[in-house]
Amino acid sequence: MSGYKVFTIAGASGKSGKAVLDELLREFTIHFPLLELNLSSGKSVIYGTGETPNSWTTIPDVARYAVYVLTRLPPSKLHNRVFHIEGDRKTFNEIVRLYRAKHPAEYQVTYKPVDALEELVQKSEGKDFFHALMIEYATGRVAHDPARLDNAEYPGWNPKQVADLL
């Protein structure tokens, strides 16, 4: 298998399968605990109007998908391939509405317009990664094109929906 890396889960390294997957996915996954969509606090900051759909997929669902395609697809379908997957597609406003339906209580949402974010990023001379990323979310540029999704490569893949996690 020259030219292909073979990954074994819990291989000779003695690491658990979870540790190996964490190492494999770390480079490709961004964690967002500080999105300012802190639902349990009763306060959220939403960038832009909050009406732009975005792609949401849990890390365990990404891991399950990766293990499946790496172990089931032929190398010819993997070589230099970028997989576009999506667990759910929701706007920030939809997420807040779903949360409030499950947890009725006082809730405050503050909106920050994209032009204000662009000004912050410009003034930072490229050092404000967080707000630059929030511009991408607010404008929908981080969402996958539904026509290009590769979810079907894993028949029966049933990723969690945002509502399942609230």
Burial classification of residue 105, based on how many CB atoms lie within 10 Å of its CB (0-12 exposed, 13-18 middle, 19 or more buried): exposed
Q: Does the structure show a pLDDT above 90 at 15? A: no
Residue 118, SS3 per DSSP: helix
Confidence of residue 36 (pLDDT cuts 50, 70, 90): low
Alpha helices in 45-106 (DSSP H): 59-72, 92-102
Confidence of residue 165 (pLDDT cuts 50, 70, 90): confident
**The pLDDT of residue 37:** 66
Percent of the chain residues past pLDDT 70, beyond the cut:
77
Confidence of residue 34 (pLDDT cuts 50, 70, 90): very low
CATH number of 17-148+160-165: 3.90.25
Confidence of residue 119 (pLDDT cuts 50, 70, 90): very high
Please state the rounded mean pLDDT for residues 34-47. Answer: 74
The domain segmentation of the chain, as residue ranges, is 17-148+160-165
Beta strand pairing call for 43-47 and 108-112: parallel
- C-alpha span between 115 and 155 (Å, rounded): 42
Percent of the chain residues past pLDDT 90, beyond the cut:
39
Q: Is the pTM above the cut of 0.85? A: no
- The residues near 163 (Cβ < 8 Å, ≥ 6 apart) are 98, 102
- The residues near 150 (Cβ < 8 Å, ≥ 6 apart) are 83, 84, 85
